[in-house]
Amino acid sequence: MNFKETIENLKANNSTPIVTECLQTMTNDEVLFNGGFVQEKEKLSNLYLLRLNMSKDLNRDKFEDDEIENWEIAVDNLMKSPSEELKLSWVSSEKKTYLLFWDNQTKKLQAIYYLYSKSSIAEQEINNDKIIEQGFTVSSVKFINGKRIKDWKKNS
């Protein structure tokens, strides 16, 4: 799912404050967008349950209460999802990174949560440039106010 499709699907699934906030961020702010990847629901939901439990048990001091709370809701939604395959995409802004889990067939949003950003967009761009310099690829694309500004291409 590309940036435009993600916006349209968020509009169709605009049922929670987090969805509204993510949609507003994508259309009104500077963001890095990653279209993501597809994974079996069982594997992806178990991975994010494990990450949640580790964050609660081992790294609790690194997360705010609201991050943990909405992460718990998202994992619960993932576990209950009837989807066989999920697509995980994400949107990073100056303030938050949103993780969006979609049914890969219907494109219906199954879960969403955010984490507070640990690095600025500028720092993430520098990191992307370094990754490209090392000969690897970067899948994120920069948008400002919903307009594509920059993507990173591997040097030939």
User: pLDDT grade, residue 156 (50/70/90)?
Assistant: very low
CA–chain centroid gap for 124, Å, is: 14
How many CB atoms lie under 10 A from the CB of residue 111? 25
DSSP string spanning the chain?
--HHHHHHHHHHT--SHHHHHHHHHHHHSEEEEEEEEEEEHHHHHHHHHHHHHHHHHTSGGGS-HHHHHHHHHHHHHHHH---SEEEEEEEE-SSEEEEEEEETTT--EEEEEEEE-SS-HHHHHHHHHHHHHTT-----EEEETTEEEEE-----
81-138: per-residue pLDDT in tens? Answer: 999 999 999 999 999 999 999 999 999 999 999 999 999 999 999 999 999 999 888 8
* Token code pair at residue 100: 């969006």
pLDDT tier at 154 (50, 70, 90 boundaries)? Answer: low
CB 33 within 8 A of CB 91: yes
Total-model pTM: 0.92
Q: How far apart are CA 20 and CA 15, in angstroms?
A: 8
Mean pLDDT (the chain, rounded): 93
Q: Model confidence at 155, in pLDDT bands (50, 70, 90)?
A: low
